Amino acid sequence: MRPTFIAGLIATGLLAGSTISPAQAQPLTTSAAALTRQAVTLMKTKRADIDGDGRKDTVRLYKLSASKWRVTVDTAKGKHASKRFTSTIARDWGLKSPWVGPNRMDGRPGAELPFMIQGGDGVVFRVLTWRKGRLINEPRLAGAAWYVGGPLPEFQSYRFYTSASVRYAEVAWLTPNGSDYKTCSADVKRYAWKSSKWVFVRHYTVAAATGVCQRYPGL
Model confidence over 61-119: pLDDT tens digits?
999 999 999 999 999 999 999 999 999 999 999 999 999 999 999 999 999 999 999 99
Distance CA 17, CA 101 (A): 6
- Residue 159: C-alpha distances to residues 22, 60, 155, 219 (Å): 32, 25, 14, 8
The gap from C-alpha 66 to its chain's centroid, in whole angstroms, comes to 20
Is 23 inside any structural domain?
no
Backbone CA torsion sign across 102, 105, 110, 116? negative
Distance CA 162, CA 158 (A): 14
| 80-96: burial string, b at 16+ Cβ within 10 Å, e else | ebbbebebbbbebbebb
Instruction: Please report the pLDDT score of residue 40 as a whole number.
Output: 75
Is 25 inside any structural domain?
no
Per-residue model confidence as pLDDT tens for the chain (219 residues): 434 444 455 434 444 433 332 223 333 333 444 444 554 799 999 999 999 999 999 999 999 999 999 999 999 999 999 999 999 999 999 999 999 999 999 999 999 999 999 999 999 999 999 999 999 999 999 999 999 999 989 999 999 999 999 999 999 999 999 878 889 999 999 999 999 999 999 999 999 999 999 999 999
Instruction: Please report the pLDDT score of residue 66 as a whole number.
Output: 94
Q: Is-contact 181 202, C-beta < 8 A?
A: no
Q: 120 is in which domain, residue-wise?
A: 3-18+32-215
Q: If residue 4 lies in a helix (H) or strand (E), which one and from where to where?
A: helix 3-12
Q: What is the pTM of this model?
A: 0.83
Is 171 inside any structural domain?
yes
Backbone CA torsion sign across 62, 126, 47, 172? positive
Instruction: Please report the pLDDT score of residue 37 as a whole number.
Output: 52
Q: Is-contact 90 65, C-beta < 8 A?
A: no
Residue 136 dihedral angles phi and psi, to the nearest 5°: -130, 170
Is 94 inside any structural domain?
yes
Q: Is-contact 189 171, C-beta < 8 A?
A: yes
Instruction: Please report the pLDDT score of residue 187 as a whole number.
Output: 98
Total domains in the chain come to: 1
Is 11 inside any structural domain?
yes
